[in-house]
Structure formats: C-alpha cells, structure tokens
C-alpha cells in the first residue's frame, strides 16, 4: 500500500485516535496526579506528578472503600443484567409483534423517562417507606430495593436502542424457524438474542456504567455506611469543602474507574464482533 | 391438570415462605416486649468528622443504660434536607448534628423538639446557647463554636497587624507571591468577607438589644457603600481576586506564598508544616472587624420515639468535658462547654480562635438569610472582578434582597 | 431439533421451557402472595391492591394463549409502573399541595410541634430531681422539692406532699401508694413519660411538671392550648383563638397565623403562582432560548463526535483500535459530579490548567464571561457525553448490512456519498429515539449546570438570582426556593416540573413522529 493511500485509508485514523485519547484522557491525568500527591488539593496546583506516593491508595484500606466497591459491583451487575433481560424482551415484543397500542406504548416509554427527576427523591423515599413496612427487604437501606428502583428504568431508552437493532435482524430468519415449528420463546432465546449480542453488550455496559456513577437516588435510599455505593461514599469525601479529602477521593475515583474499563474490555469483542457471533441455524 | 400443579406449586412455596417469615417474626416480638433497656435503639446522624467522637460517647451511654445507639454517617450537606423530609415520615433519626443557623427552618417545619438544658446551660459558652435559642426555648445542645480569624505565618510576619493596610504592607514586605490570602471565588464568599464588612459598620441585619436579629436589612447605607468602594479599590490594587478559591488560598498559604490568610480552624490540618499564630482580623474600615460565629450542635427530632433516651444521651453524655474534647480533637473547633474549652485553650491556636470568637457575632438563623446569601456573594465577586460599578451594584443588591424578602 | 408443538388444541407440550416458566411463575406467585399477606398484616391497603393487581395480571398473561406481547413486556413494565409511573404520579399530586417550608408534615404533627414550642419554663423555677412512678397503670412523677419534701402526682392529680418516702442520693427510691419504675420500664413507656404533664396545683396558671430525661423535672406553662372538640388553638396569654384555614395553618380572626402549618391540597394555586411573579418575566425568555440551544447543541456535538470516532475506529486494519476504544470511553467511567468539579477547577481563569499550561499563561475567563461560560458548559458536556454516543454508534455500526455497503462500493459510490446516503440514514433509524431522549436528558441536565457554573455568571439586569447558563430546570430550583434563597416550596417545584415535562414531551413526541418516516424508508 502506498503511503498516501495508507494514510487516507488507515493512517488518519491513528491521528484521530491519538487526538481523541488526549482529549478524553488529559483531565484524568490530573486526577491520577492528585491521587499520587501527598495531601494536595485538586485545584491550585498544576505541577503534575510533583510528588509521587501510594499513600492515598494505601489509605483506602482504612476506609470502607472496598465494601462500597463490593456493593456497587453487586448493584451494577444486577441492574445491568436485569436491564438487558427485561429491555430485550420488551424490545422483541415491540419489534416482532403487531398489537394495538404498540406505537403509543413505544412513545409512552420514551416520554415517561423525560420527567424531570429533580423531585423524584421525595416520592421514591415515601414509596420505599411504605414498601419497607410490608416487605423490609424492599424498603430503605436495602441494595435489593435500590436495584428495583434502577430496574424501573430498564424499559426506556435502552429498549429503543435494542428495538432499533432488533428491527435490523431480518424477519425471514424467524419466519423460517416458525415454519420449522419453533415457538416464539424458542425463537427469542435461541435466535434473536444470539444475533443481537452486540447491542445486548452495549446496553449491559451502558446500564452498568450509569448505575455505577448514580448517587442522587442511592444517597437517599442507602442510609447506613455499610450499604453505600462508591459514588455516595466518594461524594461524601468531598461534599464538604472544608473537610474535603481530595487525596482519598481521587485515589478512590481512579480505582473505581477500573471495573468499568475492565468490563468494557471484556465486552468489546461482543460489541464489535458483529453478526458473526451468532450463527443462523434453522 | 396443569392448573392444579401450578396451584400446588404456588401454595407450597407460599406456605414455606410464610412459615419462614412467621418464624422470623416471633422472636423479634418477644425481644421488644422484654422490660430491658436493650429494646430501645437511638439513631444519631453524624457527618464524617464527628463520627468517631460520637461513637465513643455512645459506647459509654450503651454501657450505662443498656440501650443501643446506632450512629449513621451522612454527608453534612444532606443532613438538613433529609432531616426535614424524613422526620415527618417517622423514619428520621432521634438525634442529628447540625448548625445553629438551621434553627429557623427546623422550627417553622416543626421537626425539632426543644431541649431543656436546665442548670447545665451555665456550663456552656453563652453565645453557643444563645445561638440555639428561639423565643426563650433552647433547641440544640451546642458542642463547638467556630469562627474565622487571621492566620499568620510567624516566620514571614513576626507581628500581628493592627489594620488591613498594615497587613498588606507587612505582606508586601515579606516579598511573597500574595500579600494576604482571602478566599473569594467567582461566586464570592460573604462569610469570609463579613468581618471586613462589619469594620465599615454595615452588619447584615439589625440586632435587638438581646443580640437576636430582626429581619431588617442593615447592610445598605453609608457603611455598605464604603465597603463596596473599598472592595473595588483593593481589587484594583491586586490584593483581592476572584481567582483565589478556598483550595487555591489554602494551598498557597501552606507553601509559604503569603504571610496571612483569613480562615478557620478547619484549615489547620493543611498547615501542619507552618508555624502559625492566630490574630484578630485587621479592621479595614476603622470599626471592629467582627466575623460570624457558627455554633455546631445536636438537635432532637420532634417525632423521636426515644425522646427520653435522646435527651439523656445529649444532656448527660454529650455535655461532658470528655465528649466535647473528643469532638474538638476530631474537628479542631473550640468546644462549646466551658470546661472543655478551657482545656482546649492550652493550645495557643485554639485559644486564638476562641479569643477572636469572643468578639464575634452569631450568624443569623432567620429564614430571610437565604435570600441574603443568594445575592450577597455574587455582588461582591462582581465588584471585585471589576464587572460592576461598586456603589450601584451594592444598592441593587440591597433592593433585590428586599424584593425577595418582601 | 425444536420441540414439536401441537397447535390449536389448547395444549402446549411439557417442554423444558414450559417447566422453567412454570417454576418462575410459581416463584413469583409465592413471593407475591407472601407480600400480599404481609401487606394485609401491616394494613397497607395501597400496597395490597397493587400487589394483587400485579399478580392477577402476571398469572393471566403467562397462562393465556393471547397477550403474547405482554408476556415479553410485563417484567419491565411492572418495575416501570411501580418505580417510575408512581413517582411521576406522586409528583403530580404534590403539585396540587402546598408541601414546602411551613407546610412540611401532617396536621397532627403540626399541632404537636406548636404545643411543644409554646411551652415556657416558669422563670426562676427550680430543676427538681425527679422519679417516674406509677399508680396502677397510671404514670406519675415524684419530685424532691428544694426544702427536701417529696411531692408526687399524676396527670389528673396535682402534686401533693407524700410522707414516708425513701430518698437516696437526693432522689426518691420508694414511695407509699406508688410503684417506682425501673429505668428499663421507663424506657419502655418513654413516649408516655415525655408527654406527661403533672399540674403543680389546681390552678393551671401555676404550670405543670414535665421531664425530658426522667431524672430532672421542670415547671412549665403552656401559652397555647389545643381543643380537639372544636379544633381550635387558644393563646392563653392573649386570649386569641385560632381556627384552621384552607391553607393549612391556624388563623386568628385578625388574620395572623401560627408559624407551623401542615400540607393541604390547594388546587391550581401553584400553577397560577408559577406564572405570577413578574420579576422572572425578563430572564425567562433568555433562559428558555438557552435551554433549547444547550440541549440541541449538546446532542448534535456529542453525536457527531461519537459517530466520527466510531467510524474512525471501525476498521479492521487499524492496529491498536482496542486501546483507542478503551481509552476513549474513559470520561464515561468517571462519575459525572467528579467531572464537573474537575473541569470547574481546570477552567479557573488564573490557576486553571487550561489557561496556565495549555494556553501558556493566558487569562481567559472561561466560566465568568457570559458567552465563554456557555461555550465551556457545552465543551464540558461534549467531553462527558461523547463516549456514550461513541458506544452506541460503535454498536449500531455493527448492525449495518455489509452487503449494501459492498454493493455501493461496487457501484462506484465514493466514500462520502456512501456515508451520506446509506450509513447515516441507517444509523439514524437506530439512534433517533436515543437522540431525542438525549435531548430530553440535557434539557433537564441540572447536575451539570449546578456543579459547573451554578448558573453563573449572573444576569446584571435581573432582580432574581439567575444567570447566563441557567436552564429551565435550574430556574425551577431557584424559583421554588430549593436552592435556599427563599422558603422551599415543593408544591411549586412540582407544578413547574410538570409544565417543563409537558414542553419536553410535546417536542419529543413531535420529533418522534418525524422519525417514523425515517424508519419507513429503511
């Protein structure tokens, strides 16, 4: 391949890639630098890596950081899995069946998510108080309850993402399977889900990430420190400016980015693996 | 056939579950009916800084009474809204830490119960009890008094400055990057600037004879205008800048880039490597520079089911020198209990803050204060950044606040 | 290969799938019935009704041969109804109440608070060592007076001197005619103890003894009394009578009210006040325009950048694309509030790393100049938002039918043309609803504005605390006092939320209708 042609086909992509990585990563270099500094503040110091020490990372062990990490993983994994399962099922119904209220239902799903959430905490708190009086595990300060609240958003934007993708899977495939005598459930579980693996991975990842960083609802519901999620705990370290603990906070933020990146790396092959992942069988 | 199997399955599972739940509930019932102090659990909301100290006091209380104390950690900024929202549902705590300037809002909403300190009241700094008093009733048990002062790097400036101009002159002589540090930020910081404002004779509200505030604005008038003009002049001279945020100021002082910083005891942890002395804030306008005093304390929920335990815990276990000193160790603020404050004053830095606090004024707890905060800082910042003409901006601020208060 | 299914006879075979379904439904039913029983026990009729309805629908949906779509939608729908629709409905309800400062709780709690706030310790009265005693079931107090005499009484029996009491350590430990309660027993009945008022004498003006810690008694007089029969409050000093009014407060004949009120329904009052304050008229238009501009530009910029990167990295010949892809989603892996905090520091005029390091000591007022602040908000939102669009576009690109693209190539279509007329329309079909939803999200992106600029810089010409980067939802925050500048009014905030919701929903529904035509093409 001649250099000019190489550049116009592949080379420019490297240029874009490097620029994008610098843009995306530069602010985070700042965070990493602060996490390695001793007793520094986040702003007011531009000398990156002026001092390097692992003290802040070591200090995490003296906090409940790892408990929060475990809580967050439990909540985010459960929410991600639940969202994929429920969202995909709904998307399948909207994509494959024709029923009255389908259009209206789709629009309603989209619209209900647009309600300003600013005051939601008032209603959610009261809801969980009354649920908790009946079934304590669905009440305040329970991870299961938090997962349920998050799953309330399982249908919505994600359903649309999958719905659009499901529509691109040729209907002839399920028609063929149906003629072979497959039930709708078999078509769904064994054909459609396999063919749509990339989008399922994307939705799972999106849901995992947004749960991972959510703290407005979590800090209302999770009352005891042992059940906090990372975002709630980390926010606590800097919520009061006077008592702000930037060293711990930035170290925690760096560590907490690791699961997200790891999950992305793991799912990447499904996300970009494309249609080859699912073989059409009939 | 199919149905019956299903029904059977559902029934079996249900029975199993209800059986489990029934089994689980019974012992709980027995426990609560036993005439034992262990049945009661006191819930206390604290922020991170106060957590360990309250837990220590709670251990003593648990031993003395047999009751359980559950110390719940909350972000300090969440405590007020959550307390207001949760107390009416019955899910709120029995006791929470809080600041005295919440009092107006807490009583209007009926979520806080009075505390009778009885003879113990005399054992506290008078200003701390006064701050928690409304209409003759005390609503909080004070534990710390906090105010700002001038923190001086003794190496760079051996003597306390008498006036603002002296301080600036000393700062320039020291040859450091800043003559004096005062946190400002683009939103302004009226709390930190308040002593300078009072030195021009422009307090925020009129005060009654007993020291309580009336909702009559007093920050306008000649004093206010003079202060606004002074802000503009100082900004022009480069001594005040909206770029200096809390972080910037603290970091610069810690690095020895200025001999002075206007700030509170919460900064001290960052200044461990600097030799500091605490001085009164120098007057800029000729009159005494009086900072705000904030009093931290404990409130009892109006819906507490354990009011008796809660009061017992506060009056007999938190109003002790040991407990108040533990809170002092955790937060560096001078204790509210006189005996503890005297002990803490063996540290000259704490004594310095306490001395400055003696001449300070309590921060108003009037609900009208919210409207003042909304306009106050940004106006100061706009004057300092040179965006607004000082006199007109100050007057507009007073009018806007008046419009909001109604 | 697949289990053969008999059709039309009303029977499905006993396939493994059916057994799984059976087991799952049985489990759900079991949990559901448990919850119903528990709700019955706890007398939560609302929860009970909802649970029964959900259970019935679930069983019907999974055992009827009709309602095929519902079988797939129901799980998500159930969560949606309970945790989202309920929240919207509740906010709708709050919009018609006066919930807010001064109207924070129920009437009973307000009365309780008023009574306790208006008790005054009798000046100069001593604090007496107190013991909680009982006469039968009735609680009483025994106090040791200054002169050493022991006086005891109950709520109905004013204090009287009792002889023959045993006093140890200044406190009564035994009393003829009464049982002295152990501390544990006192705790058991602590609400009764703190509520108990033992009159000092037959004259109510002398006040009554109360205690807060069961150890010390104080003499209090009440300046306010409540009469349950007539539902009135009386000020015993002034003699004024207060009756409850429609706004949830006690009001006297001359119109003065007592400070603590309760929540009541106020009809459309909140919607009327929402548009009644003319101080907001000027800023409102500017804020409305900026809100639309902010939301649209945010969607456009994040989508285009995300798409561009997705396309750039979507080439098998590109080495290291796994690394690029992973690093590019970094901003998304950091919690949003941290990003906003971080950027507000980085954009500081004098010390921010952007001016000081990247621009070599420039002093550009990124967050304090009206125009630059808007650009900064958009820039930070781009940084926060493009990884999301990148992920979605990367996923969606996989779904493009490769044969069509190949065909276009063979037909001699240029790269740009292929992109314009095939790739983009197909991508838009898959992503249009997400773009609409992203628009709605940014329309209400309170966290970003609040954390980054706080709405600033302020309007110089307005008399309300609003600024150039405020969007509608942050204006609501300020108007309803939730930012602390005025008395908090959740009712008003809810009403305004609903108004905003109607605006966004209408715009989105219209846009959504447009995308249908797109879908038809594809």
pLDDT > 70 in chain A, percent = 90
User: Tell me: the pLDDT tens digits for C349-372?
Assistant: 777 778 877 777 777 888 888 999
Q: Sign of the C-alpha dihedral, residues B12, B15, B20, B23?
A: negative
Please report whether residue B233 resides in a domain. Answer: yes
* Tokens linked to B22: 């029934």
Q: How far is B155 from chain C (nearest CA, A)?
A: 26
**Rounded Cα–Cα distance for residues C232 and C244 (Å):** 7
Q: What is the mean pLDDT of residues C48-55?
A: 92
Q: How far apart are the first and last CA of chain B?
A: 75
Which tokens go with A148?
């349920």
Alpha carbon of B116 to those of B40, B305, B306, C137, C379: distances in Å?
22, 17, 16, 27, 55
How much is the CA Rg of chain B, to the nearest whole Å?
A: 26
**How does pLDDT run across B374-390, given as a tens digit for each residue?**
899 999 999 998 888 99
B132 and B181 co-located in one domain = no
Nearest in space to C464 (alpha carbons), one of C474, C452, C478: C478
Question: What secondary structure letter does DSSP report for C126?
Answer: P
Confidence category of residue B12, pLDDT binned at 50, 70, 90: very low
**How many angstroms separate the CA atoms of A169 and A165, rounded?**
7
Contact B216, B366 (CB under 8 A): no
pLDDT at B32 over 90: no
Q: Tell me the two tokens of residue A174.
A: 């399920």
The residues, any chain, with a CB within 8 Å of residue A282's CB and separated by 6 or more, are A173, A176, A177, A180
Confirm if C410 and C436 have CB atoms less than 8 A apart.
no
CB–CB of A40 and B78 under 8 A? no
Angle at B364 between CA B362 and CA B368, to 5 degrees: 175
| Residue B28: pLDDT over 50 | no
B91–A224 CB contact, under 8 Å: no
User: Does residue C197 carry a pLDDT above 70?
Assistant: yes
Co-location of B235 and B96 in the same domain = no
pLDDT at B6: 42
Instruction: Residue count of chain B, please give it.
Output: 406
| pLDDT exceeds 90 at position C420 | no
Among the residue ranges B269-283, C131-145, C395-409, the one predicted with the least confidence is C395-409
Residues C364-384, mean pLDDT to the nearest whole number: 91
* Chain C contacts in chain B segment 330-359 (CB below 8 A): none
If you write DSSP's letter for every residue of C304-344 in order, what string do you get?
Answer: HHHHHHHHHT--TT-TTHHHHHHHHTHHHHS-HHHHHHHHH
* Parent domain of B243: 149-290+367-405
Residue C416, chain A, CB below 8 Å: the answer is: no
Residue A157, both tokens:
């934007």
Residue C109 is nearest to which of B110, B242, B375, comparing CB atoms?
A: B110
Q: Is C56 exposed, middle or buried (0-12, 13-18, 19+ CB in 10 A)?
A: exposed
- Residue whose tokens read 């799984």: C20
Instruction: Identify the CATH number of the domain in which residue B167 sits.
Output: 3.40.190.10
pLDDT (tens digit, 9 = 90+) per residue, A15-56?
Answer: 888 899 988 888 888 888 888 877 656 554 566 777 778 888
Query: With an 8 Å Cβ cutoff, are B378 and C458 in contact?
Result: yes
Nearest residue, CB atoms, A153 vs list C84, C356, C500: C84
Residue C331 predicted with pLDDT over 90:
no
In the predicted model, is pLDDT for residue B10 greater than 50?
no
pLDDT digits (tens, 9 = 90+) for B282-292: 999 999 999 99
Confidence of residue C425 (pLDDT cuts 50, 70, 90): confident
pLDDT of residue B274: 92
Provide the pLDDT for residue A1.
58
Domain total of chain B:
2
The Cα C162–Cα B40 span in angstroms is 32
User: What residues of chain A, 124 to 183, have a C-beta less than 8 Å from chain B?
Assistant: 125-126, 129, 140
Same domain, B158 and B272: yes
In this predicted structure, the answer to whether residue B13 has a pLDDT above a threshold of 60 is no
Residue-wise burial string across B256-288, b where 16 or more C-beta atoms lie within 10 A, e elsewhere: ebbbbbbbbbbbbebbeebebbbbbbbbbbeee
Q: Do B243 and C348 touch (CB under 8 A)?
A: yes
Same domain for B386 and B281:
yes
* B21 part of a folded domain: no
Q: How far is CA C235 from CA B268, B302, C182, in A?
A: 50, 21, 37
pLDDT at residue B316 tops 90? no
Distance linking the first and last C-alpha atoms of chain C: 34
Instruction: State the pLDDT confidence band at B264, using cuts at 50, 70 and 90.
Output: very high
CB-based contact, C255 to chain A, within 8 Å: no
- Per-residue pLDDT of C492-516, as tens digits, reads 889 988 888 998 889 888 888 877 6
Contacts A–B by Cβ distance under 8 A: 55
Radius of gyration of chain A (CA): 23
More confident residue, C141 or B36: C141
Residue spans of the domains in chain A: they are 1-53, 61-277
B99 shares its domain with B194:
no
Model pLDDT for residues B111-148, shown as the tens digit of each residue: 999 998 888 888 999 889 989 988 888 999 999 999 99
pLDDT at A41: 60
Which of C294 and A14 is assigned the larger pLDDT? C294
Residue B34 has pLDDT above 70, yes or no: no
Stated length of chain C? 522
- Residue carrying structure tokens 């797109």: C518
What's the whole-number mean pLDDT along residues C232-250? 89
Q: Which of B32-46, B243-257, C394-408 has the lowest mean pLDDT?
A: B32-46
Task: Give the pLDDT band of residue B280 (cuts 50, 70, 90).
Answer: very high
Give the pLDDT of residue C31. 92
Please give the helix or strand (H or E) that residue C241 lies within, else none. strand C241-244
Alpha-carbon distance values, C434 to B300, C85, C255, C385 (Å): 48, 20, 54, 13
Q: Which residues of chain A have pLDDT under 50?
A: 44, 274-282
Model pLDDT, residue A70: 95
Span C145-155, average pLDDT:
86
Q: What is the pLDDT of residue C514?
A: 78
Mutation target for A interface from B247, B262, B296, B332: give the one with most A CBs within 10 A. Answer: B247
Between chains, do B399 and C463 touch, taking CB under 8 Å as contact? yes
How far apart, in whole angstroms, are the C-alpha atoms of residue C357 and residue B242?
Answer: 20
B198 vs C457 pLDDT, higher one: B198
pLDDT confidence of residue C44: 85
At residue B25 the predicted structure's pLDDT band, cuts being 50, 70 and 90, is very low
CATH architecture of residue range(s) A61-277: Orthogonal Bundle (1.10)
Mean pLDDT score of chain C, rounded to an integer? 84
Q: What is the mean pLDDT of residues B245-259?
A: 89
Phi, psi of A72 (to 5 degrees): -60, -40
Residue with tokens 């070591």: A58
In chain C, where the domains are located: 19-94, 123-222, 278-521
Residue B14 lies in a domain: no
Q: How much of chain C, in percent, has pLDDT values that exceed 90?
A: 20
Residue C457: is the preceding peptide bond cis (ω within 30°)?
Answer: yes
Res. C294 pLDDT band, cuts 50 70 90:
very high
Q: From the candidates C279, C484, C494, which should be mutated to test the interface with B, based on the most B CB atoms within 10 A?
A: C484
DSSP 8-state class, residue C234 = E
* Chain B nearest-CA residue for A126: B89
Q: Pick the more confident residue, B271 or C335.
A: B271
- Residue C350: list chain B partners with CB under 8 A: 241, 243
Q: Do B215 and B138 sit in the same domain of this protein? A: no
Q: CB contact, 8 Å: A242 with chain B?
A: yes
* Residue B203: φ, ψ to 5°: -70, 165
Task: Using a CB–CB cutoff of 8 Å, tell me whether B105 touches chain C.
Answer: yes
Binned at pLDDT 50, 70 and 90, residue B237 comes out as very high
The pLDDT score that the predictor gives to residue B162 is 92
pLDDT of residue C450: 85
Q: C454 near C344, Cβ under 8 Å?
A: no
In this predicted structure, what is the pLDDT of residue B324?
92
| ipTM associated with this complex | 0.87
Query: Which of these CATH numbers, 3.40.250.10, 3.40.50.800, 1.10.3720.10, 3.40.50.620, describes C278-521?
Result: 1.10.3720.10
Tokens of B194: 């308040």
Tell me the pLDDT band of C1, cut-offs 50, 70 and 90. Answer: very low
Q: Select the residue of C29, C116, C351 nearest B243 (Cβ to Cβ).
A: C351
* Chains in contact with C via at least 3 Cβ–Cβ pairs below 8 Å: A, B
Q: Which of C117, C351, C486 sits opposite B370 (nearest CB)?
A: C486
Mutate one of A123, A223, A226, A232 to test the B interface: name it (highest B CB count within 10 A).
Answer: A223
CB C70 within 8 A of CB C60: no
Q: What is the pLDDT of residue B19?
A: 40
Distance CA C162, CA C22 (A): 74
Give Cβ neighbours of residue A153 (< 8 Å, ≥ 6 apart).
A83, A113, C80, C83, C84
HEC profile of chain B: CHHHHHHHHHHHHHHHHHHHHHHHHHHHHHHHHCCCHHHCEEEEEECHHHHHHHHHHHHHHHHHHCCEEEEEECCHHHHHHHHHHHHHHCCCCCEEEEEHHHHHHHHHCCCEECCCCHHHHHHECHHHHHHCEECCEECCEEEEEEECEEEEECCCCCCCCCEHHHHHHHHHHHCCCCCCEECCCCCCCHHHHHHHHHCCCCCCEEECCCCCEEEEECCCHHHHHHHHHHHHHHHHHCCCCCCCCHHHHHHHHHCCCCCEEEECHHHHHHHCCCCEEEECCCECCCCCCCCEEEEEEEEEECCCCCHHHHHHHHHHHHCCHHHHHHHHHHHCCCECEHHHHHHHCCCHHHHHHHHHHHCCEECCCCCCHHHHHHHHHHHHHHHHCCCCCHHHHHHHHHHHHHHHHC
Q: Which CATH superfamily is domain C123-222 in?
A: D-maltodextrin-binding protein, MBP (2.40.430.10)
Q: Is residue B16 part of a domain?
A: no
Same domain for B153 and B182, yes or no, is: yes
CA angle A190, A195, A198 (to 5 degrees): 125
**A265 in reach of chain C (CB within 8 A):** yes
CB contact under 8 A, A44 and B245: yes
C-alpha to C-alpha distance for A95 and B104, rounded to whole angstroms? 57
Average pLDDT for C460-484: 85
**Average pLDDT over all residues of chain B:** 86
pLDDT at A223: 81
């Amino acid at each position: 391949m001649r250099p000019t042609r190489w550049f116009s086909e592949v080379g420019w992509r490297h240029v874009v890639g490097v620029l994008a990585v610098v843009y995306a990563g530069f602010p985070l270099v700042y965070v990493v630098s602060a996490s390695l500094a001793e007793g520094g503040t986040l702003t007011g110091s531009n000398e990156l890596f002026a001092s390097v020490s692992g003290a802040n990372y070591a200090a995490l062990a003296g906090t409940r950081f790892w408990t929060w990490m475990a809580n967050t993983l439990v909540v985010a994994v459960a929410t991600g899995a639940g969202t994929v399962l429920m969202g995909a099922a709904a998307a399948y119904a909207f994509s494959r069946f024709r029923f009255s209220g389908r259009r209206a239902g789709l629009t309603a799903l989209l619209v209900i998510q647009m309600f300003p959430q600013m005051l939601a905490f008032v209603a959610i708190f009261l809801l969980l108080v009354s649920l908790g009086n009946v079934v304590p595990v669905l009440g305040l300060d329970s991870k299961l309850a938090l997962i349920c609240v998050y799953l309330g958003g399982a249908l919505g934007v994600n359903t649309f993402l999958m719905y659009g993708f499901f529509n691109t899977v040729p209907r002839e495939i399920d028609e063929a399977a149906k003629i072979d005598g497959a039930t709708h459930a078999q078509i769904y579980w064994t054909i459609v889900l396999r063919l749509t693996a990339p989008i399922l991975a994307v939705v799972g990842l999106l849901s995992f990430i947004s749960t991972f960083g959510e703290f407005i609802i979590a800090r209302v519901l999770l009352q005891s420190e042992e059940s906090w999620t990372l975002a709630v705990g980390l926010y606590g370290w800097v919520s009061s400016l006077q008592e702000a603990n930037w060293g711990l906070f930035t170290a925690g933020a760096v560590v907490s980015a690791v699961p997200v990146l790891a999950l992305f790396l793991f799912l990447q092959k499904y996300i970009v693996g494309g249609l080859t992942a699912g073989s059409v069988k009939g | 056939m199919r149905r019956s199997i299903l029904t059977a399955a559902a029934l079996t599972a249900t029975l199993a579950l209800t059986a489990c739940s029934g089994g689980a509930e019974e012992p709980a019932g027995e426990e609560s009916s036993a005439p034992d102090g262990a049945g009661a659990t006191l819930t206390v909301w604290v922020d991170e800084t106060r957590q360990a100290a309250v837990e220590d006091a709670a251990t003593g209380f648990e031993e003395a009474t047999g009751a359980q104390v559950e110390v719940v950690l909350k972000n300090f900024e969440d405590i007020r809204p959550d307390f207001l929202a949760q107390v009416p549902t019955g899910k709120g705590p029995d006791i929470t830490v809080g600041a005295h300037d919440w009092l107006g809002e807490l009583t209007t909403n009926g979520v806080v119960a009075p505390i009778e300190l009885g003879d113990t009241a005399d054992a506290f700094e008078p200003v701390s009890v006064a701050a928690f008093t409304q209409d003759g009733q005390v609503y909080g048990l004070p534990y710390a008094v906090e105010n700002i002062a001038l923190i001086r790097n003794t190496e760079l400036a051996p003597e306390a400055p008498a006036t603002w101009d002296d301080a600036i002159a000393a700062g320039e002589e020291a040859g450091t990057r800043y003559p004096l540090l005062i946190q400002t930020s683009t939103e302004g910081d009226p709390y930190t600037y308040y002593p300078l404002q009072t030195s021009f004779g422009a307090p925020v509200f009129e005060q009654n004879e007993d020291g309580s505030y009336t909702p009559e604005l007093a920050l306008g008038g000649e004093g206010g205008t003079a202060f606004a003009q002074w802000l503009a002049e100082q900004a022009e001279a480069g001594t005040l800048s909206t770029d200096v945020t809390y972080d910037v100021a603290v970091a610069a002082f810690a690095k020895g880039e200025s001999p002075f910083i206007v700030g509170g005891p919460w900064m001290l942890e960052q200044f461990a490597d600097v030799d500091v002395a605490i001085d009164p804030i120098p007057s800029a306008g000729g009159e005494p520079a009086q900072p705000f005093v904030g009093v931290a304390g404990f409130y009892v929920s109006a819906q507490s089911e354990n009011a008796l335990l809660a009061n017992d815990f506060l009056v007999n276990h938190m109003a002790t020198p040991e407990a108040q000193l533990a809170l002092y160790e955790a937060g560096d603020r001078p204790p509210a209990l006189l005996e503890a404050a005297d002990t803490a004053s063996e540290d000259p830095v704490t004594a310095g803050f306490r001395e400055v606090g003696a001449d300070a004024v309590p921060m108003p707890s009037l609900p009208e204060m919210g409207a003042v905060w909304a306009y106050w800082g940004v106006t100061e910042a706009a004057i300092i950044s040179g965006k607004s003409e000082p006199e007109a901006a100050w007057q507009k601020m007073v009018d806007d606040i008046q419009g909001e208060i109604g | 290969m697949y289990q053969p299914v008999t059709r039309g006879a009303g029977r499905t075979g006993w396939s493994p799938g059916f057994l799984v379904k059976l087991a799952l439904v049985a489990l759900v039913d079991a949990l559901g019935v448990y919850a119903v029983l528990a709700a019955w026990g706890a007398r939560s009729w609302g929860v009970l009704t909802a649970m029964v309805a959900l259970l019935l629908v679930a069983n019907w949906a999974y055992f009827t041969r009709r309602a095929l779509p519902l079988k797939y939608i129901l799980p998500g729908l159930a969560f949606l109804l309970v945790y989202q629709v309920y929240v919207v409905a509740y906010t709708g309800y709050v919009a018609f109440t006066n919930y807010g400062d001064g109207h924070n709780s129920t009437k009973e709690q307000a009365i309780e608070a008023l009574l306790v706030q208006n008790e005054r310790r009798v000046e100069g009265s001593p604090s007496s060592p107190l013991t909680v005693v009982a006469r039968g079931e009735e609680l009483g107090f025994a106090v040791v007076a200054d002169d050493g005499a022991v006086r005891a009484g109950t709520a109905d029996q004013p204090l009287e001197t009792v002889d023959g009491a045993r006093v140890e350590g200044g406190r009564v430990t035994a009393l003829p005619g009464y049982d002295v309660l152990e501390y544990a027993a006192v705790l058991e009945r602590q609400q009764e103890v703190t509520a108990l008022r033992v009159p000092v004498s037959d004259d109510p003006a002398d006040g009554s003894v109360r205690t807060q810690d069961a150890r010390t008694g104080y003499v209090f007089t009440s300046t306010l009394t409540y009469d349950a029969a007539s539902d009135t409050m009386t000020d015993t000093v002034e003699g004024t009578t207060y009756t409850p009014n429609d706004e949830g407060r006690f009001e006297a004949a001359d119109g003065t009210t007592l400070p603590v009120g309760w929540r009541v329904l106020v009809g459309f009052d909140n919607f009327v006040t929402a548009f009644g304050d003319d101080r907001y008229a000027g800023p409102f238009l500017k804020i409305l325009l900026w809100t639309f501009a902010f939301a649209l530009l945010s969607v456009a910029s994040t989508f285009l950048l995300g798409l561009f990167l997705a396309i750039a990295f979507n080439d098998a010949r590109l080495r290291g694309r796994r690394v690029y892809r992973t690093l590019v989603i970094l901003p998304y892996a950091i919690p949003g509030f941290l990003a906003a905090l971080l950027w507000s520091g980085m954009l500081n005029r004098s010390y921010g790393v952007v001016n000081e390091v990247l621009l070599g000591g420039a002093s550009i007022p990124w967050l304090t100049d009206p125009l630059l602040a808007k650009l900064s908000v958009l820039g930070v939102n781009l940084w926060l938002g493009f990884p999301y669009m990148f992920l979605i576009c990367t996923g969606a690109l996989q779904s493009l039918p490769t044969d069509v693209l190949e065909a276009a190539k063979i037909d001699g279509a240029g790269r740009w043309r292929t992109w314009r007329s095939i790739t983009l329309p197909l991508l838009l079909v898959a992503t249009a609803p997400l773009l609409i939803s992203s628009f709605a999200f940014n329309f209400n992106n309170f966290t970003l504005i609040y954390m980054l600029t706080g709405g600033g810089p302020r309007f110089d010409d307005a008399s309300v605390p609003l600024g150039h980067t405020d969007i509608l939802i942050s204006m609501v925050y300020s108007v309803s006092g939730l930012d602390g500048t005025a008395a908090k009014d959740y009712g008003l905030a809810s009403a305004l939320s609903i108004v905003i919701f109607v605006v966004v929903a209408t715009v989105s529904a219209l846009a959504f209708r447009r995308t249908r035509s797109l879908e038809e093409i594809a």
